[in-house]
């Protein structure tokens, strides 16, 4: 099991689209056996609701950067879904030995990464410069979809057909925060067509007066909430901003009219319209400039809805494909690791600090440690400096084929007795390397001094560690305990 950290924000100013995608990826990762946490600022009401519903742990973002963040969270991979993280993120994370997975939308959020995902429709046909990235996944097949989307898709398929000539039931959604006031404009244009009977508008309460001014009092107003797609599944038409929700609506299969609300939505808007996933009403700026013309255009689009052929090209499995790519890159990275003669131990240095902290803070390591709390970067740096200077402690880093795969520490407990503790890198687990790592470190330690007694304190239910030390020649001492820990002893 490996730990992934998702990095994204959900604020009233920036919207919740990045968080929506990240949570879909988180669900797929957990289903695939990863542990997951999220780092970011989540201050929008809908964002907080979505995060609470997911059950995902949220952690703060330290000022020291992504490498420290990954190390403090014990993450072997960081998945970034924002536009602010710079092009140096991959090199920075490499200092902690962590991989970078990066979401981009055309040129927005573009950065080199071990796994790059651009899930906009048509991305696979556009030019992308070779920036040294590893695996590049492009196109709508990689669009991450929440579980709610898949449930709404089934709900839509079970819906009874609309009666011919009946007034339309229209839904307006403009994102989780509607930072630019698009909901009122879209509601006003929809009402001006005279074709809409029931009009449901999902927008923050702060926008409701604007919506009523534009579309009248006979509007069903709802605060943004996680289950909004259930409303979409029952609508005859949805008017939506061309952000993340647009691809969710395509997956649900509801007739959709899109508007490009901000500049970074234009490529996705154009791709969705060109490929038939939605009809296009233009830009929000254009609607504001001439609302009457917008209403006439929408009236014409509504005439086309009944005969519009929508392709069924958004299957909702994009998040699983992204996580599958993580696993593939992870396997490739560890392909050369093997418990053979290339496994050697060397004394640790300060340059190993971030990697050692990441290993120490891995959730599965913390679960069997004396202290299960994560260690912060400042405390770890100070600890490592003390260890490297302390003659009563020896810390070794073990490498296989030049790749760091584990660490072993020896702490003097008596004149001729040293306690042994071992941490295996998450990426080296399951490859039969623990015995080689322990043996290499013991050999290096023995070469530094006279014979001594080695002891290991292991929780009774930590069966893998119990087996490891017994196979390495350690034996239980009847009646000897260290708190809740069994004590195993070996003369060396």
Please name the residues in contact with 146: beta carbons below 8 A apart, sequence gap of 6 or more: 20, 23, 24, 27, 248
d(CA 129, CA 143): 21
Write the pLDDT tens digit of every residue in 204-236. Answer: 999 999 999 999 999 999 999 888 899 999 999
Based on the fold, state whether residues 213 and 344 are members of the same structural domain. no
* 324 lies in some domain: no
Please state, for a pLDDT cut of 90, what percent of the chain lies above it.
61
**pLDDT range class, residue 431, cuts 50, 70, 90:** confident
* 207 lies in some domain: yes
Based on the fold, state whether residues 155 and 299 are members of the same structural domain. yes
CB atoms within 10 A of CB 342: 15
Based on the fold, state whether residues 120 and 200 are members of the same structural domain. no
H-state helical runs in 336-376: 353-361, 363-366
Based on the fold, state whether residues 180 and 138 are members of the same structural domain. no
SS3 229: helix
CATH code at position 448: 3.40.630.30
C-alpha separations of 57 from 54, 167, 318 in Å? 9, 45, 23
Write the pLDDT tens digit of every residue in 432-482. Answer: 889 999 999 999 999 877 778 999 998 888 888 999 999 999 998 887 888
* 320 lies in some domain: no
Based on the fold, state whether residues 132 and 158 are members of the same structural domain. no
Based on the fold, state whether residues 158 and 102 are members of the same structural domain. no
| Nearest of 370, 344, 350, 355 to residue 442 by alpha carbon | 344
CATH code at position 106: 3.40.50.11190
Q: Which two tokens stand for residue 478?
A: 């009847």
Q: Which two tokens stand for residue 75?
A: 């993450």
Contact 73/37 with Cβ under 8 angstroms?
yes
d(CA 190, CA 184): 10
Q: Which domain holds residue 456?
A: 335-491
* 323 lies in some domain: no
* 256 lies in some domain: yes
The bridge status of strand 35-39 relative to strand 57-59 is parallel
Contact 6/26 with Cβ under 8 angstroms?
yes
Whether the predicted pLDDT of 80 surpasses 80 = yes
Cα angle at 325 between 321 and 331, to 5 degrees?
Answer: 140
* 310 lies in some domain: no
Q: Please give the pLDDT value at position 309.
A: 55
SS3 456: strand
Write the pLDDT tens digit of every residue in 19-30. Answer: 999 999 999 999
* 312 lies in some domain: no
Report the domain count for the chain. Answer: 3
Write the pLDDT tens digit of every residue in 273-303. Answer: 888 888 999 999 999 999 999 999 999 998 8
Write the pLDDT tens digit of every residue in 30-46. Answer: 999 999 999 999 999 88
Contact 246/256 with Cβ under 8 angstroms?
yes
């Amino acid at each position: 099991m490996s730990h992934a950290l998702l990095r994204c924000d959900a604020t009233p100013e920036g919207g919740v689209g990045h968080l929506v995608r990240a949570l879909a990826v988180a669900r797929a990762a957990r289903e695939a056996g990863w542990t997951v946490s999220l780092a970011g600022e989540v201050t929008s009401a809908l964002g907080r609701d979505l995060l609470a519903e997911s059950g995902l742990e949220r952690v703060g973002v330290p000022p020291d950067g992504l490498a420290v963040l990954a190390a403090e969270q014990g993450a072997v991979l960081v998945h970034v879904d924002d536009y602010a993280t710079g092009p140096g993120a991959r090199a920075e994370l490499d200092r902690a030995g962590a991989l970078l997975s990066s979401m981009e939308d055309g040129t927005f959020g573009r950065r080199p990464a071990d796994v790059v995902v651009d899930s906009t429709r048509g991305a696979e046909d556009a030019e992308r410069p070779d920036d040294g990235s590893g695996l590049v996944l492009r196109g709508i097949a990689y669009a991450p979809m929440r579980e709610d989307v898949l449930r709404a898709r089934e709900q839509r398929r079970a819906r009874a057909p609309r009666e011919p000539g009946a007034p339309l039931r229209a839904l307006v959604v403009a994102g989780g925060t509607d930072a630019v006031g698009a909901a009122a404009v879209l509601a006003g244009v929809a009402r001006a067509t005279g074709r809409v009977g029931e009009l449901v508008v999902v927008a923050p309460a702060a926008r409701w007066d604007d919506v009523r001014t534009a579309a009248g009092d006979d509007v069903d107003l709802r605060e943004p909430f996680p289950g909004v797609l259930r409303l979409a599944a029952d609508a005859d038409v949805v008017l939506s901003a061309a952000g993340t929700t647009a691809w969710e609506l395509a997956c649900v299969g509801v007739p959709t009219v899109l508007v490009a609300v901000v500049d970074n939505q234009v490529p996705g808007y154009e791709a969705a319209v060109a490929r038939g996933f939605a009809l296009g009403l233009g830009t929000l700026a254009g609607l504001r400039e001439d609302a009457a013309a917008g209403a006439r255009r929408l009236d014409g689009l509504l005439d086309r809805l009944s005969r519009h052929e929508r392709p069924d090209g958004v299957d909702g499995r994009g998040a699983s494909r992204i996580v599958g790519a993580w696993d593939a890159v992870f396997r490739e990275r560890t392909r050369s690791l093997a418990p053979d003669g290339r496994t050697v131990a060397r004394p640790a240095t300060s340059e190993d600090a971030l990697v050692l902290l990441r290993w120490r803070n891995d959730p599965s390591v913390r679960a069997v440690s004396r202290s299960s709390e994560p260690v912060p970067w400042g405390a770890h740096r100070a600890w490592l400096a003390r260890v490297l200077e302390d003659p009563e402690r020896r810390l070794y880093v073990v490498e296989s084929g030049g790749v760091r795969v584990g660490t072993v520490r020896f702490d003097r407990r008596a004149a001729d007795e040293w306690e042994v503790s071992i941490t295996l890198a998450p990426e080296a687990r399951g490859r039969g390397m623990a015995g080689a790592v322990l043996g290499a470190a013991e050999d290096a330690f023995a070469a530094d001094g006279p014979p001594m007694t080695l002891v290991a304190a292991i929780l009774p239910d930590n069966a893998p560690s119990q087996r490891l030390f017994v196979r390495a020649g350690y034996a239980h001492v009847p009646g000897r305990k260290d708190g809740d820990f069994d004590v195993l002893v070996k003369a060396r």
